[in-house]
Amino acid sequence: MTDLSKITCIEDLRQMARRRVPRMFYDYADSGSWTESTYRANESDFQKMLLRQRVAVNMEGRSTATTMIGQAVTMPVALAPTGLTGMQHADGEIAAARAARKFGVPFTLSTMSICSIEDVAQHAGPGFWFQLYVMRDRDFIERLIERAKAAGCGALVITLDLQIMGQRHKDIKNGLSTPPKPTLSNLINLATKPRWCLGMLGTSRRKFGNIHGHVKGVTDMSNLGAWTADQFDPRLSWSDVEWIKKRWGGKIIIKGIMEPEDARLAVDSGADALVVSNHGGRQLDGAPSTITALPAIVDAVGSQIEVHLDSGIRSGQDVLKAWALGARGTYIGRAFLYGLGAAGEAGVTRALQIIHKELDVTMAFSGHTRLETVDKTIFRPGTYPLA
């Protein structure tokens, strides 16, 4: 059994996950669209931002605690909604929700999860949020909203940047499906992942739990796949957000904002927060990284709505940099998926521990003991993006 105390960074977890997770599901998590230029920029643009080290500053009594949409969190980090999480590791959404609850950060369940809302609700804490894709079948969406209410979800995260699917070359080449189709190539690859296979044999959760059994006419996975591909609604508009907001009645987070004008529309919608997000570089390739898009959005709306950020967060330093530029929350997707694929719930916990440690230490070296005092002055001038 792997000694996770020897795992010192998210990259260590990524390498473990690559060895343990079947190729099609690892590639699903660790890839972008088209040339993957935006996917790469999301990470590399963080590295271009240089920090100022301060010395002879009292570093005792540090705290990374804050709030996200009014909820107390151990650090300004939530687990992002990620599809097919239960294919990285058996019952993956449940494992991740447990880790998040114990660590004191929110967990966001994707519409396209393997474990259902009801499955996860039994294991999640007060920071259980649900991410909603807007689909053509509005009756199904209404039922999904009601199920999220019944499960006690504290916020609804509406994703606006998946009206159509980005061109994800690795998924196409791998013939992504759940469960994997029994092709010769897949069977050969699965034979090299005995730990994953044993886990999957021990669970019945191998389909889209929020959809399977909840949609009329969907009786098998082939029908479900066709339904899903046809259901993302290209006609999505802000009037749909208003329709959802009225039916939900609780806190709303708008995800997928990359431009100030859309941020202002998110404010007009009455949302509680927006997420600066390019879907992890999985939709529009050639778009800017989220960290370079953040300052202009904060400048446009930061005092009117809580601004969060995802895409590219791989360390606690990234979290601190996003905070310094005005993000009051961040989301990790791949970082926790690597931990999940590497070692299940314990791996997610290790990912959170690593990010928290890096955030705490970097904050201290920058001369701060509380996030509230951290701003752009932690950066060397000329190395960080301006609005």
Question: How does pLDDT run across 34-49, given as a tens digit for each residue?
Answer: 999 999 999 999 999 9
> Tell me, what's the pLDDT at 227?
75
Q: Is the pLDDT of residue 76 over 80?
A: yes
At position 287, the amino acid (one-letter code) is: A
Active-site residue flag, 279: yes
- Both tokens of 159, joined, read 């994703």
Are 156 and 248 contacting, i.e. CB atoms less than 8 angstroms apart?
Answer: yes
Q: Is the pLDDT of residue 223 over 90?
A: no
Of 279, 308, 356, 368, which one is the catalytic site residue? Answer: 279
- Domain limits, the chain: 4-378
CATH superfamily, with its number, for domain 4-378: Aldolase class I (3.20.20.70)
Q: Peptide bond before 106: cis, by omega within 30 degrees of 0?
A: no
Which stretch of 119-133, 170-184, 186-200, 359-373 has the lowest confidence by average pLDDT? 170-184
Q: Is the pLDDT of residue 224 over 90?
A: no
Which stretch of 54-58, 180-184, 347-351 has the lowest confidence by average pLDDT? 180-184
Q: How confident is the model at residue 229 (pLDDT cuts 50, 70, 90)?
A: confident
- The percent of residues above 90 in pLDDT, for the chain, comes to 88
- Residue 18, burial from CB neighbour count under 10 angstroms (0-12, 13-18, 19+): middle
- Computed over every residue of the chain, the mean pLDDT equals 95
Q: How confident is the model at residue 1 (pLDDT cuts 50, 70, 90)?
A: low
Phi, psi of 302 (to 5 degrees): -55, -30
Are 186 and 22 contacting, i.e. CB atoms less than 8 angstroms apart?
Answer: yes
At position 290, the amino acid (one-letter code) is: T
Residues with Cβ within 8 Å of residue 279, at least 6 apart in sequence: 159, 161, 162, 166, 256, 311
Q: Is the pLDDT of residue 387 over 90?
A: no
Residues with Cβ within 8 Å of residue 293, at least 6 apart in sequence: 258, 259, 276, 278
> Tell me, what's the pLDDT at 218?
76
Q: Which residue from 281, 55, 298 is spatially nearest to 161, judged by alpha carbons?
A: 281
- The percent of residues above 70 in pLDDT, for the chain, comes to 98
Which residues pair with residue 107 across a beta bridge?
79, 128
